Amino acid sequence: MAAHPEEFAARYRAAGYWIDETFADFVADRTTRFADRTAVVGVDAHGTPVRWTYAELAAAADAAAARLAGAGVVPGDRVVLALPNVVEFVAVVLGCFRAGILPVFAQPGHRETELSQFCAIADAAAIVVSGDTDGHDHRALVDRVAERLRAQGVEPPALVDVQQWPRPGSSEPRIHADPAHPDLGTGRVGVLRRSGCAGSTSSEGLFAPGRAEEVAFLQLSGGTTGVAKLIPRTHADYLYSVRASAEICGLGEETVLLVVLPAAHNFAMSSPGILGVLHVGGTVVLARDPSPRTAFRLVAEERVTWTSLVPPLAQAWISSARRRTPDLSSLEVIQVGGARLSDAVAAEIGPVLGARVQQVFGMAEGLVNYTRLDDPDELVLTTQGRPISPDDEIRIVDPADPDEAEVPDGEEGALQTRGPYTIRGYYAPGGADDPVNRDAFTADGFYRTGDLVRRLPSGHLVVTGRAKDQINRGGEKVATEEIEGPLLARPDVLDAVVVGLPDPYLGERICVVVRPEAGVRSGPDLGAELTEHLRASGLATYKLPDQFEFLDQFPVTHVGKNSRRDLRRLLAARLSDE
């Protein structure tokens, strides 16, 4: 796993981007400084409403850390979190930070395919779930994950179920009462236990928390291959993006942020997100479900000032607000990002929802672009913003050129980036030489985003397309390989190609084009059977196909590979005929 070369690190320190603050310091400082202010509003894992001051949040974080310790987790360990938007999520994240445990930010929609990969790659000591969530038994899910890992010879993680914790507010164990881990909660711990990252040049110190330039947690990459990629973010790099984001967005103690998107996502976490709000002493309101009804009620009740949406949710808010005329008078800014917001929808947000729009084009690997609050409307409504940092380096290259020459100013090309909060490599077994890193990073350390963009003279980027094998389904990223793999394993499927089709609501929907074996009856029944197969294979719920099409022959490229582009065209023609 490549770190930033010293020459760059020195520059980022000198510029004041990287400072000597860890997440343990951050939590200790903010929860003390803002002790009596309201930090978190939401429901717990049982659905009971909870309000925590910063002091209460600190206590809940300590209690969560103690529970992880009780499950055998020690500082330096990685712990996979797959929680819905409940208050325990914030407590566990902050508890990990205080205890020097590294969270791996999974989603409650992930299933055994994803979770077992995250556990294996991160060598996770525990997995934290909310037992019975949205109609799915997550305890049984963790059992299946353990089974898979055992079959691969990997030690399974301990199960931690927040639904089995005492309810927030009931008497909590104090962290210092745990004699086995006297340093937990002090941020002064640096114990290494499990094997660490095999690809690092020196595993010594990699997981030593308490040092700002060490890895603090692992985020997930949207993914372009069948194998998961974990993103190592350091205290220094991430906290820089948090501070800078809070400043660009003008957050303050009076900010009330409504978190509608999955809380563990990078957008909800840090752009400026939960951490940006805790940085300045504001209030985080968690919506347990993303429906406009729940969101509108919370906006009115909590006088929410700020929220972050993906484009389909922005559309849902607009159509719902037209019918119900909710009280959204407290809302100042609605951020939209994660997928391309159409200029038409962008233009409706202000008039219908009564808030200013901010477009956000970011990635868990690092780079985040914002339209600025004082940008002219023209830029706010038609661009995806400009980078956070003056030291974010942007290179726009010819995607068809093997030498990756830069395109002339203003022309479309593939976006590459490097900077103070963009990783130099994934957390991969082979380190810098691992194939995932060789494909995703250039020799001089730029991350190949796979996005096609155009840059305006102002520095604002317009996202024009994509050059990666990924579908962006309303902000949720799915690698085509993840779906194709399990389907190709079936004897009745000769070939399968997954393509994203334009969708007025999702932006793109997942279409699987199947070429059945000779004699296999295709049609809706086969589609339903294949969906069931994917579900049973343990694929995340949000990756299940929206649509199946059956073809006897696939268009191929000149080198004989299936052509996704021609397939997409063929389907568009076929669907418009119907």
Q: Shortest distance, CB of residue 339 to ligand OOB, whole angstroms?
A: 5
Q: Using the minimum distance from each CB to ligand OOB, give the nearer residue, 42 or 507.
A: 507
Nearest to 550 by CA among 522, 576, 570: 522
Q: How far is the CB of 421 from ligand OOB (least distance, A)?
A: 11
Measured from the CB atom, the residue of 271 and 283 that comes closer to ligand OOB is: 271
- The encoded tokens of residue 576 equal 């418009």
Of the pair 99, 452, the CB lying nearest ligand OOB is at 452
Cα dihedral value 171, 172, 178, 181, nearest 10? -170
How far, CA to CA in Å, does 385 sit from each of 50, 306, 368, 441?
36, 18, 9, 23
Q: How far is the CB of 336 from ligand OOB (least distance, A)?
A: 7
Q: Would you say 178 or 404 has its CB closer to ligand OOB?
A: 404
Write out the DSSP string of 466-490.
E-SSEEEETTEEEEHHHHHHHHHTS
| Shortest Cβ 413–ligand OOB spacing (Å) | 14
Choice between 434 and 451, CB closer to ligand OOB: 451
Laid out side by side, the sheet with 547-550 consists of 493-503, 507-516, 547-550
User: In the 8-state DSSP scheme, what is residue 228?
Assistant: -
> Residue 26 or 370: which CB sits closer to ligand OOB?
370
Which pair of structure tokens corresponds to residue 179? 């004699």
Q: How far apart are CA 95 and CA 60, in angstroms?
A: 8
Q: What is the DSSP letter of 134?
A: T
Provide φ and ψ at 153, rounded to 5°. Answer: 80, 20
Question: Which residue, 120 or 339, has its beta carbon nearer to ligand OOB?
Answer: 339
Tell me the closest approach of the beta carbon of residue 494 to ligand OOB, in angstroms.
Answer: 31
Whether the link from the prior residue into 272 is cis, omega within 30° of 0, is yes
Taking the least distance from each CB to ligand OOB, the nearer of 113 and 245 is: 245
For residues 50-84, b (16+ Cβ closer than 10 Å) or e, as one string? bbbbbebbbbbbbbbbbbbbebebbbbbbbbbbbb
The radius of gyration of the chain's CA atoms, rounded to the nearest angstrom, is 23
Give the tokens for residue 297: 């009620």
Residue 274 Cβ, how far from ligand OOB at the closest point, in Å? 13
| Closest distance of CB 63 from ligand OOB, Å | 30
Nearer to ligand OOB, 38 or 335 (CB): 335
**By C-beta, is 130 or 245 nearer to ligand OOB?**
245
CA–CA gap between residue 445 and residue 328 (Å, rounded)? 44
d(CA 339, CA 355): 20
- Closest approach, Cβ 509 to ligand OOB, in A, equals 16
Rounded-to-integer distance, Cα 52 and Cα 56, Å = 5
CA–CA gap between residue 44 and residue 92 (Å, rounded): 12
CB of 551 to ligand OOB, least distance (A): 28
Nearer to ligand OOB, 78 or 473 (CB): 473
**Euclidean distance between CA atoms 365 and 1, whole angstroms:** 13
The CB-of-359 to ligand OOB minimum distance in angstroms stands at 6
Interatomic CA distance for residues 118 and 115, integer angstroms: 5
Residue 362 exposure: Cα atoms within 13 Å on the Cβ side:
30
Q: In the bound complex, what is the minimum distance in angstroms from residue 268's beta carbon to ligand OOB? A: 9
Nearest to ligand OOB of 235, 477 (CB atom): 477
C-beta nearest to ligand OOB: residue = 362
Question: Residue 192 class from Cβ within 10 Å (0-12 exposed, 13-18 middle, 19+ buried)?
Answer: middle
CB of 370 to ligand OOB, least distance (A): 9
The SS3 of residue 521 is: coil
357 or 463: CB nearest ligand OOB:
463
> Which CB atom, from 27 or from 360, has the smaller least distance to ligand OOB?
360
Distant-in-sequence, close-in-space partners of 14: CB < 8 Å, separation ≥ 6: none
Amino acid letter, residue 556:
V
Render the burial of 525-564: b for 16+ CB within 10 Å, e for the rest.
ebbeebbebbeebbbbebbbbbebbebeebeeeeeeebbb
- The site for ligand OOB (CB under 6 A) is made up of 222, 266-267, 271, 337-340, 359-364, 368, 384, 449, 451, 463, 466, 472, 477
Name, in order, each residue with C-beta under 8 angstroms of 422's C-beta and a sequence gap of 6 or more.
Answer: 237, 365, 366, 367, 392, 447
